[in-house]
Chains A and B, each alone.
Chain A
Amino acid sequence: MLIQILGIIVLLMALRTLFAQDRSERMLYLNAMSFGIAGLMALYIQTPFGAIIAITYFIASTISSNAIAYSIGRVKNEIILDE
């Protein structure tokens, strides 16, 4: 029951990340999905190492979110060379 609720939330947040309009809106949905995955891993592995891996994953994903949000401010509208 608990795992099913978390799984539905994670899939919903991933779909909203794909179909979002703005770029910083995507960051907020991505953070909510990362919360869900950390809780899901702690519920699936029921040993003390499960808590360690959940903490490690969450802090690492926060560091990468920090770097992405910092460089969103620097790269305003980038030039793409298609065709």
Chain B
Amino acid sequence: MNEIIAIIIAAVLSWINFVLIDTWMGLPEQPGVRGADVIGRSVKRRGGDLAGGFFQGNIVCSPDASAGTLLASAACYTIGTPEGGLIAAVLVYFGNRLCADPGYAGTTGALSITCIIFAASYIGIGPADFIVGMVLAIVTIQGLHHPLASKLLGRIAEKMGRHTKLT
């Protein structure tokens, strides 16, 4: 029972982390590559929001802060707490540049989740809980119901001043 509470807390922490960093780095504003445009317009055609669709398409087409969160927690679990996150940040940067993306979101997400894991290890939440929590968080965005998730993301983007200007 104690383990389930730890997983839920880790899921909430990583959801807040990657949604805030991705929105701040301007993912809902414009599609970075052309594949994200296709996915965003398809989500809008099924009754969603365009900014949330661009957000989901950008996550599919290049490793952003969501990938940085997952890979940094995996590296912290297997390598060691401060060093693994730094190594994962460098590898995520190279992978980001291979996908024609500037790479700000991925490295920022990896470094910030390293700090969060280092702080949360004092209250008994290990890096293994953060791996499962990140997968649960990405399932709520990409896996359950796309129009509702895109409307929620669009509302967050509008509140932070990053809503798209395209139509």
Contact = CB atoms under 8 A, between A and B. Distances in A.
Q: Do chains A and B touch in the complex (CB under 8 A)?
A: yes
Interface residues of A, number: 42
B121 interface: no
B132 A72 contact: no
Contact of B74 (A22, A25, A51, A59): A51
Contact of B39 (A6, A27, A35, A42): A27
Contact of A42 (B57, B63, B78): B78
Contacts of A58: 63, 67, 70-71, 95
Nearest to A31: B60
Interface of A: 1-2, 5-6, 9, 12-13, 16, 22-25, 27-29, 31-32, 35-36, 38-39, 42-43, 45-48, 50-51, 54-55, 58-59, 62-63, 65-66, 68-70, 72-73
Interface residues of B, number: 48
Given A31-B60, A35-B135, A51 B36 contact: no
A9 B38 contact: no
Contacts of B59: 31
Given A42-B77, A51-B78, A66-B35, A35 B138 contact: yes
B132 A2 contact: yes
Contact of B98 (A1, A27, A51, A63): A63
A51 B63 contact: no
A73 to B, nearest CB: 4
A43 B99 contact: no
B132 A65 contact: no
Contacts of A31: 59-60, 138, 142
B19 interface: no
Contacts of B43: 24
Interface string B113-157: 000000000000000110110111011001100100000000000
Contact of B135 (A22, A28, A36, A72): A36
Contact of A65 (B61, B92, B136): B61
16 contacts: A13-B139, A28-B60, A32-B142, A38-B71, A39-B132, A42-B74, A42-B131, A43-B128, A46-B78, A47-B78, A51-B77, A51-B84, A55-B75, A58-B63, A59-B67, A62-B62
